[in-house]
Amino acid sequence: MTDKITELLATREYLLADGAMGTNLFQLGLANGASGERWNVEDPDKLRGLHRSMVEAGADILLTNTFGANKFRFQLHGLEDRVHELNEAGAAIAREIADQAGHDVVVAGSMGPTGDVLEPLGERTVTEAEDAFTEQAEALKAGGVDVAWIETMYAENELGAAITGATRAGLPFIATMTFDSGGRTMMGIRPQDAIQLEPCRHHHPVGFGANCGVGPAQLLDSILGIAHAANPGAIIVAKSNCGLPVLNDEMQVVYDGTPEIMSDYARMARDAGARIIGGCCGTTVEHVRAMRESLESTTRGSAPTYLEIEERLGPVKTTVDVEKAVKRARKEG
């Protein structure tokens, strides 16, 4: 059977994913260091309001409030025995709002890293990680998600463990990795190599791309690299941070990306080859609304040059053969 995202993209040029869960929960009063996933049962109305506002801003995809809801991350908060409860509740809240939208809205079950380095560099085994991701994915499925959304991965073995967990649960999956200012993940993987990793070649993601990172300019570089290596027709995902984190006058961490910057980023991400576009850390409802308006008011153009990216979004360290990437994007456009 075809998954819901692929069905929608058969008739649409792009889908817009939502913004940052953590950033928006902090704005709603979540304390620093607290587990936001507890709100899935302790304050679900705030989650309902956030999801609803993202749909109203134009989001086609809602990510659940479950990014850190695997048992190893939960051990930091004494919640390791509540994995199923909090994941299922988070999925059910997003499902409820999606079903009330009056049009198609995809519910994506967010699955972030374990927080540990896996063997052979760390003590956590791949089998332990696979079992933890399976537990999370099964709970997300019970809550009604359409797809597992595996995000912020940096190592091939943990990416593979998360994919195994999703597939064991019978869920289609999206996967994104995080690339830093050197154009590589923390484990040294380049964007153009990431989409060719064995877990993706073996299990066939619904979509693959980049999220988080160090701002929209660098993320576009990652998207160009992925597009350069992707098979024709592959669904590429772009979910950038909203600029860079800075300290404001109240000594709070905020992101400096304006709605105008995210508007330019969304358009350029589409032109670079992304068909699922959204925002990561720092991205609010206002940014999502600006991205929607930008995408709706423009048509897809040629892949952006690095000069255009830097003029609009700031400096970027190139990691791909620019001319080949641009020629390919134009040929497939």
**What band does 194 get if pLDDT is binned at 50, 70 and 90?**
very high
Count CB neighbours of 321 within 10 A: 14
Q: What is the pTM of this model?
A: 0.92
Where is average pLDDT lowest: 21-25, 136-140, 200-204, 214-218?
Answer: 200-204
The torsion angles phi and psi of 119, rounded to 5 degrees, stand at -60, 150
Mean pLDDT (whole number) for 197-211? 91
The angle that helices 322-332 and 216-229 make with each other, rounded to 10 degrees, is 70
**What band does 325 get if pLDDT is binned at 50, 70 and 90?**
very low
pLDDT tens digits along 71-123: 999 999 999 999 999 999 999 999 999 999 999 999 999 999 999 999 999 99
% of residues, the chain, pLDDT over 90: 83
238 token code pair: 């772009």
Find residue 109's DSSP bridge partners.
148
232 token code pair: 């024709």
pLDDT at 318: 61
What is d(CA 164, CA 127) in angstroms, rounded to the nearest whole number? 10
pLDDT at 303: 95
Where is average pLDDT lowest: 15-19, 199-203, 220-224, 321-325?
Answer: 321-325
pLDDT reading at 7 higher than 70: yes
pLDDT at 182: 82
What is d(CA 174, CA 102) in angstroms, rounded to the nearest whole number? 24
**What band does 33 get if pLDDT is binned at 50, 70 and 90?**
confident
pLDDT at 32: 84
pLDDT at 328: 46
pLDDT at 320: 53
Q: 140 in helix, strand or coil?
A: helix
pLDDT reading at 333 higher than 60: no
pLDDT tens digits along 218-262: 999 999 999 999 999 999 999 999 988 787 777 677 888 999 999
> Total domain count for the chain?
1
pLDDT at 331: 47
pLDDT tens digits along 253-276: 788 899 999 999 999 999 999 999
pLDDT reading at 317 higher than 80: no
pLDDT at 119: 94
Identity of the amino acid at 333: G
What is d(CA 269, CA 239) in angstroms, rounded to the nearest whole number? 9
The torsion angles phi and psi of 208, rounded to 5 degrees, stand at -140, 145
The torsion angles phi and psi of 223, rounded to 5 degrees, stand at -65, -40
Ordered DSSP codes for 81-97: GGHHHHHHHHHHHHHHH
Cβ–Cβ < 8 Å for 282, 257: yes
pLDDT reading at 146 higher than 60: yes
Range with the largest mean pLDDT of 21-30, 159-168, 189-198: 159-168
- The Cα-based distances of 172 to 149, 168, 205 in angstroms read 9, 10, 7
pLDDT reading at 307 higher than 50: yes
Mean pLDDT (whole number) for 44-57? 98
| Start-to-end Cα distance in the chain | 27
Where is average pLDDT lowest: 48-57, 198-207, 242-251?
Answer: 242-251
What's the CATH number where 37 sits? 3.20.20.330
pLDDT reading at 10 higher than 70: yes
Domain housing 280: 4-332
Residue located via tokens 């956590």: 124
Cβ–Cβ < 8 Å for 62, 108: yes
pLDDT reading at 140 higher than 80: yes
